[in-house]
Amino acid sequence: MDNIFLKLRQLPKAKGALGLLGVLGTVALAGASISPLFAQVDFGSFANKARQAEAKTNMSNMREAEKAYYAGKGKFTASIAQLGIQPDTQNYHYRVALPKGKGIPRVMMTAQAKRFDTRSYTSAVFVFSSNNKPVFVAGTCETNPPSTKPPVMPTAPKNASGQIRCPSGSHLI
Protein backbone atom coordinates (compact mmCIF):
# COMPACT_ATOMS: atom_id res chain seq x y z
CA MET A 1 0.00 0.00 0.00
CA ASP A 2 2.92 2.34 0.70
CA ASN A 3 4.12 1.82 -2.88
CA ILE A 4 0.83 2.99 -4.34
CA PHE A 5 0.84 6.19 -2.33
CA LEU A 6 4.49 6.76 -3.24
CA LYS A 7 3.52 6.41 -6.90
CA LEU A 8 0.77 8.95 -6.38
CA ARG A 9 3.29 11.46 -5.08
CA GLN A 10 5.70 10.77 -7.94
CA LEU A 11 3.15 11.30 -10.74
CA PRO A 12 4.12 14.06 -13.11
CA LYS A 13 2.01 17.14 -12.78
CA ALA A 14 0.19 16.69 -16.07
CA LYS A 15 -2.43 19.10 -17.25
CA GLY A 16 -5.79 18.19 -18.61
CA ALA A 17 -7.67 14.91 -18.81
CA LEU A 18 -4.63 12.67 -19.22
CA GLY A 19 -3.23 13.78 -15.87
CA LEU A 20 -6.58 13.33 -14.15
CA LEU A 21 -7.02 9.86 -15.69
CA GLY A 22 -3.60 8.84 -14.46
CA VAL A 23 -4.42 9.91 -10.90
CA LEU A 24 -7.85 8.28 -11.00
CA GLY A 25 -6.35 5.05 -12.34
CA THR A 26 -3.78 4.95 -9.55
CA VAL A 27 -6.47 5.65 -6.93
CA ALA A 28 -8.60 2.86 -8.43
CA LEU A 29 -5.63 0.47 -8.13
CA ALA A 30 -5.17 1.52 -4.51
CA GLY A 31 -8.83 0.85 -3.83
CA ALA A 32 -8.59 -2.55 -5.51
CA SER A 33 -5.68 -3.55 -3.28
CA ILE A 34 -7.42 -2.34 -0.10
CA SER A 35 -10.91 -3.76 -0.76
CA PRO A 36 -9.92 -7.44 -0.25
CA LEU A 37 -8.95 -6.53 3.31
CA PHE A 38 -12.53 -5.52 4.02
CA ALA A 39 -13.93 -8.52 2.16
CA GLN A 40 -12.22 -10.82 4.66
CA VAL A 41 -14.05 -9.35 7.68
CA ASP A 42 -16.48 -11.92 9.09
CA PHE A 43 -19.50 -9.89 10.08
CA GLY A 44 -21.22 -13.08 11.28
CA SER A 45 -18.71 -13.35 14.10
CA PHE A 46 -19.70 -9.87 15.30
CA ALA A 47 -23.34 -10.97 15.44
CA ASN A 48 -22.38 -14.13 17.35
CA LYS A 49 -20.36 -12.10 19.84
CA ALA A 50 -23.40 -9.87 20.41
CA ARG A 51 -25.66 -12.89 20.92
CA GLN A 52 -23.14 -14.45 23.30
CA ALA A 53 -22.83 -11.16 25.22
CA GLU A 54 -26.58 -11.40 25.90
CA ALA A 55 -26.13 -14.87 27.39
CA LYS A 56 -23.08 -13.89 29.46
CA THR A 57 -24.92 -10.90 30.90
CA ASN A 58 -28.03 -12.92 31.71
CA MET A 59 -25.97 -15.72 33.28
CA SER A 60 -24.18 -13.20 35.49
CA ASN A 61 -27.50 -11.62 36.50
CA MET A 62 -28.99 -15.03 37.27
CA ARG A 63 -25.99 -15.99 39.44
CA GLU A 64 -26.25 -12.76 41.43
CA ALA A 65 -30.04 -13.13 41.79
CA GLU A 66 -29.63 -16.72 43.07
CA LYS A 67 -27.07 -15.55 45.64
CA ALA A 68 -29.42 -12.82 46.85
CA TYR A 69 -32.34 -15.26 46.97
CA TYR A 70 -30.29 -17.75 48.98
CA ALA A 71 -29.03 -15.06 51.36
CA GLY A 72 -32.63 -13.99 52.05
CA LYS A 73 -34.41 -17.37 52.13
CA GLY A 74 -31.70 -19.93 52.89
CA LYS A 75 -32.35 -21.83 49.66
CA PHE A 76 -32.11 -21.43 45.90
CA THR A 77 -35.06 -21.01 43.57
CA ALA A 78 -35.83 -23.06 40.48
CA SER A 79 -38.16 -20.33 39.23
CA ILE A 80 -36.58 -18.33 36.45
CA ALA A 81 -39.36 -15.75 36.85
CA GLN A 82 -38.17 -15.03 40.40
CA LEU A 83 -34.74 -14.26 38.98
CA GLY A 84 -36.15 -11.62 36.65
CA ILE A 85 -34.95 -13.30 33.46
CA GLN A 86 -37.07 -13.97 30.40
CA PRO A 87 -36.93 -17.77 29.86
CA ASP A 88 -36.74 -17.49 26.07
CA THR A 89 -35.21 -14.83 23.87
CA GLN A 90 -34.54 -14.74 20.16
CA ASN A 91 -31.11 -16.24 20.79
CA TYR A 92 -31.31 -18.48 23.89
CA HIS A 93 -33.46 -20.75 26.09
CA TYR A 94 -32.69 -20.07 29.78
CA ARG A 95 -33.29 -22.69 32.49
CA VAL A 96 -32.68 -23.13 36.23
CA ALA A 97 -32.27 -26.50 37.93
CA LEU A 98 -31.72 -27.60 41.50
CA PRO A 99 -29.59 -30.75 41.20
CA LYS A 100 -30.70 -33.51 43.54
CA GLY A 101 -28.46 -35.16 46.03
CA LYS A 102 -26.79 -34.52 49.33
CA GLY A 103 -23.79 -32.38 49.87
CA ILE A 104 -23.08 -28.77 49.05
CA PRO A 105 -26.18 -26.67 48.29
CA ARG A 106 -26.05 -25.76 44.61
CA VAL A 107 -27.99 -24.42 41.67
CA MET A 108 -27.39 -24.75 37.94
CA MET A 109 -28.47 -22.25 35.29
CA THR A 110 -28.17 -22.81 31.54
CA ALA A 111 -28.29 -20.70 28.41
CA GLN A 112 -28.95 -22.99 25.46
CA ALA A 113 -28.10 -21.39 22.12
CA LYS A 114 -30.83 -21.56 19.49
CA ARG A 115 -28.30 -21.27 16.65
CA PHE A 116 -25.70 -23.91 15.80
CA ASP A 117 -22.97 -21.27 15.35
CA THR A 118 -23.33 -19.75 18.84
CA ARG A 119 -21.88 -20.95 22.16
CA SER A 120 -23.97 -22.24 25.07
CA TYR A 121 -23.36 -21.67 28.80
CA THR A 122 -23.86 -23.26 32.21
CA SER A 123 -23.49 -21.31 35.45
CA ALA A 124 -23.37 -22.82 38.91
CA VAL A 125 -23.47 -21.43 42.42
CA PHE A 126 -22.22 -23.52 45.35
CA VAL A 127 -22.66 -22.54 49.00
CA PHE A 128 -20.14 -23.17 51.74
CA SER A 129 -20.56 -22.08 55.35
CA SER A 130 -18.11 -19.94 57.26
CA ASN A 131 -19.01 -18.74 60.78
CA ASN A 132 -22.64 -19.63 60.05
CA LYS A 133 -22.66 -17.33 57.03
CA PRO A 134 -22.97 -18.45 53.41
CA VAL A 135 -19.89 -18.20 51.24
CA PHE A 136 -20.72 -18.46 47.54
CA VAL A 137 -18.48 -19.94 44.88
CA ALA A 138 -19.85 -19.35 41.40
CA GLY A 139 -18.76 -19.45 37.80
CA THR A 140 -19.85 -19.90 34.22
CA CYS A 141 -18.68 -22.52 31.74
CA GLU A 142 -18.73 -21.75 28.01
CA THR A 143 -18.73 -24.44 25.32
CA ASN A 144 -15.41 -24.58 23.48
CA PRO A 145 -16.88 -24.91 20.00
CA PRO A 146 -20.26 -23.32 19.29
CA SER A 147 -23.01 -25.68 20.44
CA THR A 148 -26.75 -25.82 21.01
CA LYS A 149 -26.13 -28.02 24.03
CA PRO A 150 -24.99 -26.31 27.25
CA PRO A 151 -22.26 -27.92 29.37
CA VAL A 152 -23.32 -30.33 32.11
CA MET A 153 -23.13 -29.30 35.77
CA PRO A 154 -19.65 -28.06 36.72
CA THR A 155 -17.81 -29.79 39.55
CA ALA A 156 -17.90 -28.11 42.95
CA PRO A 157 -14.66 -26.93 44.50
CA LYS A 158 -13.39 -28.77 47.58
CA ASN A 159 -13.75 -25.64 49.72
CA ALA A 160 -14.85 -22.01 49.64
CA SER A 161 -11.46 -20.81 48.41
CA GLY A 162 -11.55 -23.12 45.40
CA GLN A 163 -12.86 -22.63 41.90
CA ILE A 164 -15.51 -24.58 40.02
CA ARG A 165 -14.26 -26.98 37.36
CA CYS A 166 -15.93 -27.01 33.98
CA PRO A 167 -16.71 -30.30 32.25
CA SER A 168 -14.86 -31.52 29.18
CA GLY A 169 -15.70 -29.51 26.07
CA SER A 170 -16.06 -26.24 27.98
CA HIS A 171 -13.98 -23.69 29.85
CA LEU A 172 -14.47 -21.25 32.72
CA ILE A 173 -15.09 -17.65 31.75
- The chain-wide mean pLDDT, for the chain, equals 82
User: Does the pLDDT value for residue 26 go beyond 60?
Assistant: no
User: Does the pLDDT value for residue 21 go beyond 60?
Assistant: no
What is the rounded CA–CA span in Å between residue 51 and residue 166?
Answer: 22
b/e map of 127-166 (b: 16 or more CB within 10 Å)?
bbeeeeeeebbbbbbbbeeebbebbebbebbeeeeeebeb
Q: Which of 131, 82, 90, 135 is nearest to 109 (CA)?
A: 82
Per-residue pLDDT, averaged over 22-27, amounts to: 47
Whether the Cβ atoms of residue 51 and residue 110 lie closer than 8 Å to each other: no
- Can you tell me whether residue 39 is helix, strand or coil? helix
**Rg (the chain; Cα; Å):** 27
* pTM of structure: 0.73
**Share above pLDDT 70 across residues of the chain, in percent, rounded to a whole number:** 75
Q: What is the pLDDT of residues 106-144, one digit of tens each?
A: 999 999 999 999 999 999 999 999 888 999 999 999 999
Say what the pLDDT of residue 48 is: 83
Whether the Cβ atoms of residue 148 and residue 112 lie closer than 8 Å to each other: yes
Measured from the Cβ of residue 100, the count of other Cβ atoms closer than 10 Å reads 5
Amino acid at position 119, single letter:
R
Q: Which of 139, 4, 5, 7 is nearest to 66 (CA)?
A: 139
